[in-house]
Amino acid sequence: MRIDVLTLFPEMLSSVLSGSILGRAIGAGLIEVNPIQLRSYTTHRQRCTDDYPYGGGAGMVMFAQPIVDAVTDIDPEHRARRIYLSPRGRTLNQRIVESLAQEERLLLLCGHYEGVDERALELCIDEELSIGDYVLTGGELGALTVIDAVARLVPGVLGSEASGEDESFTTGLLEYPQYTRPADFRGRRVPEVLLGGNHADIEYWRREQSLRITLERRPELLDSAPLDETQARMLERIRAEKALIHLLEGMGAICASTSLAEADAFPKAWIDAFVPPENRKAAKKLCISGKRHVGFPYQAFTHGLMHGLEGEAANEALTRAMPENVKLYFPKEAVLIWAKLPQGFTPDALKTQLVLVDETTCLAYLTSGKAQLGPWYIQLDPPPQ
């Protein structure tokens, strides 16, 4: 791919074009970028390239002549897609970047000062592109943004072909969180699923995180994101969970998702409090080291740690086993747990907190065995008596 950049400040481009991935791609001949000095095309006696605007107003406007002559010289047969970087243009997004990456040639015109004479645009530019709703001093940073985003999609530019495939926007969603060593940084642990090496679980977790982050930060992307059936179900569940939290917040609860350390502390404490001593080792293995915190009481039942209990019988048995003021619901096909935190987690927490695993989360867990969520810890204000 060849990209010509028309600018009054070609030196602004050089350090970006020579560094890192772009520098290597250009060095390897995968893309060709030609910064072109517009001033060398001016026919003005003093080699000026701009003048005051007709009609008055602040700043200077770039002449049409050097621009039109440069474009005609560089692209006489109009083979390039010709773009003027401008805040008035269509806002750049990954779909536009993908379509630009299909072109053999791009020509990028960088304005400066107050912009360029409109007639230059009428005579030789195909479209205007903006890199966002703000105003820069010149089009060079916009041109570099376009070049960088497009270059990543040119085959061979990224080290591994796969590394561009699941980035933010490429999938129609924002990307999941990424982590690298160490596994524990200042007490913040990398989510266990990523350390486990089970690729199906990791994939599932990442897809879910992508949905969560997109729903939280850019919900409008979900209107057009191509979701498969699993993701559509995940999204439904996440929305149900949010609705539940909204409801609880409306009742005065402060809902926050747990850190992993908190999430782990609960099943440990829970098992110590409610699982018979002879079964605790097995329960911990089952509920903490594997799928961790989600659905652990259910696992305790179904794996024979509390024999023969299911549905309402489980509800009743558990409610009896819990401290006063605790309600547990184990409908046959789903789990909804409201519980004061067990003693040992901290006695004070018992009076002020509830633990909730919402029904939809547990339903998904029970049917897929893969949910990696919750429980949610809910701080009540004022504490229940």
Q: Is 135 in the site for ligand SAM (CB under 6 A)?
A: yes
**Shortest separation between residue 64's beta carbon and ligand SAM, angstroms:** 13
Closest by CA to 8, choosing from 31, 33, 42, 55, is 42
Q: Is 10 in the site for ligand SAM (CB under 6 A)?
A: no
**The token pair that represents 224 in the structure block:** 């057009």
Q: How far apart are CA 55 and CA 118, in angstroms?
A: 14
CA–CA–CA angle 296, 302, 304 (5° rounding):
105
Among 8, 13, 131, 364, binds ligand SAM (CB under 6 A): 131
Residues 6 or more apart in contact with residue 200 via CB below 8 angstroms: none
**Shortest separation between residue 12's beta carbon and ligand SAM, angstroms:** 12
Q: In the block, which residue shows the tokens 């594997």?
A: 290
Kindly tell me which of 35 and 375 has the beta carbon lying closer to ligand SAM: 35
**Shortest separation between residue 239's beta carbon and ligand SAM, angstroms:** 34
Task: Give the side-chain half-sphere CA count within 13 A for 72.
Answer: 10
Q: Is 137 in the site for ligand SAM (CB under 6 A)?
A: yes
Kindly tell me which of 86 and 315 has the beta carbon lying closer to ligand SAM: 86
Tell me the window of 127-135, 255-263, 265-273, 367-375 that interacts with ligand SAM (CB under 6 A): 127-135
Among 35, 139, 172, 191, binds ligand SAM (CB under 6 A): 139
Q: Is 49 in the site for ligand SAM (CB under 6 A)?
A: no
Kindly tell me which of 57 and 197 has the beta carbon lying closer to ligand SAM: 57
Q: Is 66 in the site for ligand SAM (CB under 6 A)?
A: no
Q: Are the C-beta atoms of 264 and 284 separated by less than 8 Å?
A: no
Q: Is 134 in the site for ligand SAM (CB under 6 A)?
A: yes
**The token pair that represents 50 in the structure block:** 């701009």
Tell me the window of 27-35, 42-50, 108-116, 299-307 that interacts with ligand SAM (CB under 6 A): 108-116
Closest by CA to 351, choosing from 317, 326, 376, is 326
Whether the bond between 323 and the residue before it is cis, its omega within 30 degrees of 0, is no
**Shortest separation between residue 251's beta carbon and ligand SAM, angstroms:** 45
**Shortest separation between residue 8's beta carbon and ligand SAM, angstroms:** 11
Strand partners, 77: none
Tell me the window of 75-83, 128-136, 264-272, 287-295 that interacts with ligand SAM (CB under 6 A): 128-136
Within 73-102, which residues bind ligand SAM (CB under 6 A)?
85-88
Among 19, 23, 132, 311, binds ligand SAM (CB under 6 A): 132
For helices 140-151 and 20-27, give the axis angle rounded to 10 degrees.
70
**Shortest separation between residue 111's beta carbon and ligand SAM, angstroms:** 2
Whether the bond between 182 and the residue before it is cis, its omega within 30 degrees of 0, is yes
Q: Is 3 in the site for ligand SAM (CB under 6 A)?
A: no
Q: How far apart are CA 368 and CA 366, in angstroms?
A: 6
**Shortest separation between residue 138's beta carbon and ligand SAM, angstroms:** 5
Kindly tell me which of 58 and 200 has the beta carbon lying closer to ligand SAM: 58
Among 136, 173, 349, 355, binds ligand SAM (CB under 6 A): 136
Task: Give the side-chain half-sphere CA count within 13 A for 296.
Answer: 32
Total residue length of the chain: 385
For helices 11-18 and 140-151, give the axis angle rounded to 10 degrees.
20
For helices 359-368 and 229-250, give the axis angle rounded to 10 degrees.
150
Give me the sign of the Cα torsion angle 339, 342, 345, 346: positive
Tell me the window of 134-142, 238-246, 254-262, 356-364 that interacts with ligand SAM (CB under 6 A): 134-142
Q: Are the C-beta atoms of 65 and 111 separated by less than 8 Å?
A: no
Among 111, 191, 342, 375, binds ligand SAM (CB under 6 A): 111
In the bound state, the residue with its beta carbon closest to ligand SAM is: 111
Residues found near ligand SAM in the complex (CB under 6 A)? 85-88, 110-112, 114-115, 130-132, 134-139, 142
